[in-house]
Amino acid sequence: MLRIGTWRSAESVDVVACGWHDSGPGALATGIKLIYGTGGRVPELPGLRVGALPAQGAEEIAELLCQGLDVVLTAPGCCPAAPVVAAGMWHYGWTRGDVGALAGATVAGLAMAAQAGPCSVEIWRDGRSSLDGHVTAAAVRARLAARFPGGRYRTPEVTVPLESVRLSQEAPSRIRIALRAGSR
């Protein structure tokens, strides 16, 4: 499973941490990768390999993670779901052919980006996910709806119809996110 989280406060840069190659093929390889939006100051991170130029989207972010960078910067205006989709591409080896998984990660990324405070998502290989934080299914649905102009969200990798998104409240602070089969 892949875990991704954000830390948000007025005085900090938005950070997405992803890592834990614990369920992929091959030997266990744990670690953390950081993806920073370039809108703020990136702290000094001695000993970590930091990308020199901002990445434009999920495929670029994933490529830089696969090249071994520890910290990837994203360009202003980058799709808010791109860091989560990229983390899945890096962790699971997803390609454009993995439409269901990419669509699921897109929804998880949009849901995570819409949260005002710290939160995390867990993403499985098939794109199913859960969102943890101070959340309710109704609030997440409302925030997602605001990001789906015309009822669809388009990225270079997938188009996700809002009607395919299924949210269920698993616990007071945990939402399960799934997509209806065949709707991507």
DSSP the chain: -EEEEEE--TTS--EEEEEEE-SSSSS-EEEEEEEEETTSPPPP-TTS-B-SS-B-SHHHHHHHHHTT-SEEEE-TT--TTHHHHHHHHHHH---TT-HHHHHHHHHHHHHHHT-SS-EEEEE-TTS-EEEESS--HHHHHHHHHHH-GGGEEE-SS-EEEGGGEEEEEEETTEEEEEE-TT--
Residues 6+ apart with CB under 8 A from 68: 49
Residues 6+ apart with CB under 8 A from 101: 88, 92, 94, 125, 126, 127
Is the model's pLDDT at 156 over the cut of 50?
yes
- Note the pLDDT of residue 22: 47
Mean pLDDT of the chain: 83
Nearest to 16 by CA among 81, 69, 66, 77: 81
What confidence category does residue 12 fall into, taking pLDDT thresholds of 50, 70 and 90?
Answer: very low
- Note the pLDDT of residue 129: 95
| Mean pLDDT of the region 151-172 | 93
- Note the pLDDT of residue 17: 62
- Note the pLDDT of residue 121: 92
- Note the pLDDT of residue 184: 45
What is the per-residue pLDDT across 28-85, written as a single tens digit (0 to 9) for each?
Answer: 455 677 887 766 667 777 888 888 888 989 999 999 988 888 888 888 888 989 999 9
| Mean pLDDT of the region 91-120 | 91
| Mean pLDDT of the region 2-16 | 66
The rounded percent of the chain whose pLDDT value lies above 70 is: 83
CB 20 within 8 A of CB 2: yes
Residues 6+ apart with CB under 8 A from 107: 81, 129, 144, 153, 160, 165, 177, 179
Is the model's pLDDT at 107 over the cut of 60?
yes
One-letter identity of residue 39: G
- Note the pLDDT of residue 149: 84
| Mean pLDDT of the region 167-175 | 94
What confidence category does residue 114 fall into, taking pLDDT thresholds of 50, 70 and 90?
Answer: confident
